[in-house]
Chains A and B, each alone.
Chain A
Amino acid sequence: MNEKKRINRGYVVAGVDVGGTFTDLILIDTGEGGRVTVAKTPTTPDNQSGGVLAALAQSGTPVEDIDLIVHGTTTTTNAVLERRLARTGMITTRGFRDVIELGRRTRPQPYGMTGRFVPVIPRDLRLEVNERMEASGRVRETLDDAGMRAAVQQLLDAGCESLVIHFLHAYANPAHELRAAEIAREMWPNDHITMGHALLSEAREFERGVTAAVNASVQPILQRYVRRLADELNAQGYLRDFLMMNGNGGMISARFVTREAAKTVMSGPASGVMAAAYTAERAGMPNVITYDMGGTSTDVALIRNARPAVSNEIEIEYAMPIHVPMVDVQTVGAGGGSIARLDDAGLIRIGPESAGARPGPISYGRGGTEPTITDANLVLGRLNPNRLLAVDNPIRIEDVRTVFAERIGGPAGMDGTEAAGAVLRLANTKMAGAIRMVSLAKGHDPRDFALFAFGGAGPLHATALARELSIPKVLVPARPGITNALGCVVADLRHDFVRTINRPVTEVESATIRAVLTEQAEEGRAQIDKEAVRPQQIDCVHSADMQFVGQTHLINVPLPSLEVTGEQLQALFETAYFARFRVDLKEIRANLVNLNTSVIGRRAPVDLARLIEPDGRAATLDEALVERRNVWFAGKWLDTPVYARERMPLHANLSGPAIIEQMDATTVVEPGDRVSGDVDGNLIIQIGSGR
């Protein structure tokens, strides 16, 4: 029977992303006339596999008929943020067990002399042994094997399930960590042993130690989750290997993912950015800023030449750095649930308080009483007022308007509409400012990018933000609300490697560079060879992190080939430095800090046009018109057409003002903007001049 079905379908891939509120699925059948199915189910926080299986069930395709499942999860992120971690011990060089608790003498905010910090491994489970490596990698004091055994036993007796071995300068010479791990393996009942240098071999003991500690303390949790999900999928007839999204935007087999569990932190945001890079490149926009606005926060990332910016220095919360390469997604504050209020000087403030999902905005009808950005969009006609009827306890829009009048408008003499308009405008100004800071901090002018809007609320604000930032073009993908799940489907296999060199370019042999890069590339290819999925091609991307001698900021310089001399490195760096800072410093030598290699296994392209069912599209734009309603733009009500996105002809053209509604998002087109649909079902919005 299975054989018979197979004749009618092609390769079936399911991407499943678990978010804070919803678990999203997208299923693509690559066969002829291939079909796309999407599903959305509530996330099951305690065991995310419940939501995953529910989403698969909702897709209508039997699990046994799916060829490949790719999965993004927040299991590890939540474990770290909520400190629901496996009991983990740490053994360090004598004198340095406090490194992960001391941090680097910081406080959470510039002003206010308070702060709290809970280390991922408590102090009583951090032990020390005699051993010492010098910065050069020379052994100063050999490892005390007996002391190591005693420490391991002590942690076992304390009930630890996972172990970190973190010695100073192990990146320069890992011999002691390797020997210590060998000793520990003889005694440890499982394979949850993380060596500090194993995830990322770079100097900086605090960051490397925290990364290793996070890895070890989420490893058993991720392993249990992956096993349970695999068992449940097995039970339903899916016998193949499934893949997991890593924070670097690449995928890895679920069989291997736990070894470097820390890499799955940030997996969700990364997959959204991967989908954006893929979609935007196909649309001819290799340079985009992604703008993902959800209920509680907004994430922003930069994509240049269709490659998402990757950072080795993500901090997932105060003093919690995870230094493995991850897509550089920055959270910039406000989400739809951010609360607006007047401060005691009579100025409007937005956030940082958020109504979250519960009680949520007033308009959710779950008992929220404070006006939020979502409520402002509703009062101004940008969100469909009929949606109010669909909530648990319907709210009257006039009541929401009154709240704006009373809480925001009052002292300034504004009515509810004007007050909501003021909140929206200020929220947009603030978000635009935050986006500018993210791009400027990386040395880019936002005007050189297009804005890629996704998430439930991204397309509501995107045209206003683009105008504010002088960004000429906005791209709204076919399915803004399930972009992360799409990322699971389009992402490549990927492995990243970093080697610290830290020497002036004049002292580095080109043979050394070639050897390091070659070794890293081979290691990556070997790892991809082990995967169940065969990529179409394998690319190796090499780069160098450099700085001027005496300087501290690193600049990443792409390397054209494996064959580079010190002279060429200096020249490449000076060019990159000038491009970034407009400062020429020829007289100063450059330092080669790290050599990086990314090995990427490219997968077959996915047809995006079917994300919106072609049969559902109407022949003319007029047929897609749902209604006309009054929408507030720049201080006045305009009679505005409202279109159903799924009904719009693929290549529709229209001018703002307009509202485009679809199941998972609402797009606002401001007066003066021009919209056109492209072949993949994206909306490309040219921002009009004028404000």
Chain B
Amino acid sequence: MTTLDAITLSVIEAGLNQVCDEMDIAFSRSAFSPIIAEANDRSDGIYSAQDGSLIAQGIGGLPVFVGVMHYSTRTIIEMIRDGRCLPPEPGDIYIVNDPYLGGTHLMDVRFAMPVWRNGAIFCWLSNTGHWPDIGGAVPGGFSASATAVEQEGLRLPPVKLFRKGELDPQIQAIIFSNIRIADQRIGDIKAQAAALMVGQDRLFELLDRYGDETVVDAIAELRRRAAEQMRSRIATIPDGTYRSTAYVDSDGVVNEPLTIALTVEKSGDELTFDFAGSSPPCIGPMNSVLATTYSSVYLAMRHIFPDVPMSAGAFEPLTIHRPEGTFLDARYPRPVSGCAAEVSQRIAEAVFAALVQAIPDKVTAAPAGSSGNFGLGGHDPERGRDFVLYQLSGGGYGGNADHDGLSNGCSTIGISKSPPIEIMEQNYPILYRHYALREGSGGAGRHRGGMGLAYEIELLRGDARASFVMDHGRYGPQGALGGADGAVNTVTVWRDGEAHVPKHLSKEQDVPMRAGDSVSVETPGGGGYGDPLQRPPERVLQDVRLGYYSPEQAADLFGVAVADGRIDAAGTAELRGAVAGD
């Protein structure tokens, strides 16, 4: 490592990140599906030629993909070695979406391309895009009642989609015969492949400038340093064992909670994550595959230590015991559509809940942690056409050491914006009756949780079916250090004036609706942080003034008496004394 000076190292690091960022941008800007173009549900990275380990990943990628392609690329390399996959030639691009081969759910389609230098593979470039449909029982792929992966859509092992730079028409034909709205997918396929080519061009420029050997040395050194950096962060955590539990409402088929039991062991500069005691594999689609489970832990650690570079080195000090026999290590043919959107966020919540005990200044109380996926499919008689709409929504973030949680923040695993109400009403036969802060939903605390969202959507014309893949309907996001839990997610379908609440609270498929019926959703508030009785009364008064809490809640949750828009000091002293004395 003597040949590499600090500056060359820093510049090559910036160069590798630039390659990834440019792939991200190229993919988003030319992709056809809004889910990639607008919601950035995609990610791009550089992977080792030897074992597929992560070299660099774009900061603009969807957080849930942190580290995932590390596993899929490794699998492709192994399958090529074993002869289970055709050996690569220059210009080839593999496609794969098999969840059990280092993936997430079927909708996340990966492309992987070896980069050739002087007749050998220098590294792999890979990206993932969430396709709007991949076949299967329901449009969009989130079948809440699937019991086997075959019901969820087309499953592709690693095969060459491009051979020597040419799109293979046979593979394309197979794909297009198995997915909905296939005609628009060609735009996404071209964008996804073009992004890899952009990355290759930029990488070649970097290699030409600094020399292949120097870059190889730098990659090794950067990996070593990322590991060192993660170790130095971990070293700030007091040694010990930290336990937490998080619950998925149900698997969508069997109405019982799924338990994520986590034990985090901190020793020296290493962390060990053990999910022993978690629920066994489930019947419905809330199973997680191994790569998703691992990357959920990485994702949570990155939220806690955002400045550690994303490379395989950062994962080295993290040991995750394979959670065999649990729903976090699903094997074929377990259905898995819920793993990327919801289970991943519960795993992250378990990591937060364990580590907030150890480093309360770095970790927040639990965020809402659901993508809030509401789908409505039906027929619009006025326009004479079918429609499928998705409403993703945010929720409150957890309070933290410095301030209250953010209201209506994006899911833990996402970075995408929710669609404007006016655009939704333009495009679909629906009308929002309200779209508002959900008052009182933030968990009480010295720093309270952020507020969730409350909305109600009326179907204006025709018939439709509503589906929900949400979570936190049973238990709210966890408070920390004496803070209260955030409010639970609620779903109510109003049909002919009658309230219908899904049996599984946050999940249901194909609830029939007619014109005039409506769907009412309240998303979770964030967990509170610290003892609510320590919240300064003026802050509580301000919350009451802004309508975040009612005067009754101020008294009950925070022990602050508010009368006529003022703090009743005596009443507050009494309340706080009484509550504290309980």
Contact = CB atoms under 8 A, between A and B. Distances in A.
A205 B183 CA distance: 32
B422 A443 contact: no
B59 A345 contact: no
A381 B450 CA distance: 51
Interface string A81-108: 0000000000000111111011111110
B213 interface: no
Q: Which of B352, B392, B433, B548 gathers most chain A CB within 10 Å? A: B433
Interface string B444-487: 00000000010000000000000000000000000000000000
A205 B364 contact: no
A344 B233 CA distance: 9
A203 B545 CA distance: 31
Given A104-B420, A205-B420, A344-B232, A441 B29 contact: yes
Contacts of B184: 550, 588
Contacts of B404: 116
Given A113-B364, A115-B406, A116-B406, A105 B417 contact: yes
A107 B426 contact: no
A309 to B, nearest CB: 15
Contacts of B403: 114, 116
Contact of A429 (B14, B367, B417): B14
Interface size class of A (residues with CB under 8 A): 35 or more
Interface in B161-190: 183-184, 187, 190
Contact of B190 (A580, A583, A587): A583
A103 B397 CA distance: 14
Interface string A107-140: 1011111111100001110000000101100001
B229 A343 contact: yes
B415 A583 contact: no
Nearest to B132: A550
Given A105-B418, A107-B406, A344-B229, A113 B398 contact: yes
Given A102-B453, A551-B32, A553-B38, A135 B397 contact: no
B410 interface: yes
Given A101-B437, A115-B397, A109 B228 contact: no
Contacts of B357: none
Contacts, number: 206
A423 B207 CA distance: 22
Contact of B408 (A102, A112, A343, A587): A102
B420 A429 contact: no
Interface stretch (A16-24, A432-440, A487-495): A432-440
B63 A110 contact: yes
A444 to B, nearest CB: 12
A624 interface: no
A565 interface: no
B435 A582 contact: no
B191 A583 contact: yes
B426 A124 contact: no
A123 B9 contact: no
B425 interface: yes
B415 A110 contact: yes
B187 A585 contact: yes
Given A135-B426, A437-B21, A583-B187, A115 B232 contact: no
B25 A104 contact: no
A502 interface: yes
B435 A117 contact: no
Contacts of A553: 29, 37-38
Contacts of A203: 420, 422-423, 426
A263 interface: no
Contact of A114 (B190, B400, B426): B400
A102 B407 contact: yes
Nearest to B401: A114
B421 A168 contact: yes
Contact of B436 (A96, A104, A437, A691): A96
A422 interface: yes
B6 interface: yes
B422 A115 contact: no
Interface string A344-358: 111110000000000
A206 interface: yes
A114 B396 CA distance: 10
Interface string A631-656: 00000000000000000000000000
Contacts of A425: 7, 11
Contacts of A113: 303, 352, 364, 367, 397-398, 409, 412
B10 interface: yes
Contacts of A96: 421, 432, 434-436
Given A102-B407, A110-B60, A548-B32, A204 B14 contact: no
A502 B426 contact: yes
Contact of A581 (B29, B209, B412, B419): B29
B30 A124 contact: no
B14 A430 contact: yes
Q: Which of B187, B228, B302 gathers most chain A CB within 10 Å? A: B187
Contact of B410 (A107, A124, A583): A107
Contacts of B26: 440
A583 B10 contact: no
B210 to A, nearest CB: 11
Interface in B211-237: 225-226, 228-229, 232
B397 A205 contact: no
A422 B409 contact: no
Contacts of A1: none
A366 to B, nearest CB: 29
Contacts of B6: 346-348, 411-412, 414, 422
Interface in A532-554: 548, 550-553
Contacts of B367: 113
A111 B66 CA distance: 11
Contacts of A206: 420
Contacts of A502: 426
A600 to B, nearest CB: 29
Contact of B18 (A98, A348, A436): A436
Given A105-B408, A113-B398, A441 B229 contact: no
Interface in B5-63: 5-7, 9-11, 13-15, 17-18, 21-22, 25-26, 29-30, 32, 34, 37-38, 59-60, 63
26 contacts: A98-B435, A105-B393, A105-B408, A106-B415, A107-B409, A107-B415, A110-B59, A113-B364, A123-B547, A132-B431, A169-B422, A345-B228, A345-B232, A346-B225, A347-B225, A414-B5, A422-B5, A433-B17, A440-B25, A550-B32, A550-B184, A581-B194, A582-B30, A583-B30, A585-B32, A588-B187
Sorted nearest first, the 3 A-B pairs with minimum C-beta distance are A105-B394, A95-B434, A345-B225
Given A345-B228, A421-B7, A433-B17, 6 more contacts: A95-B434, A95-B435, A203-B422, A205-B420, A414-B6, A553-B37
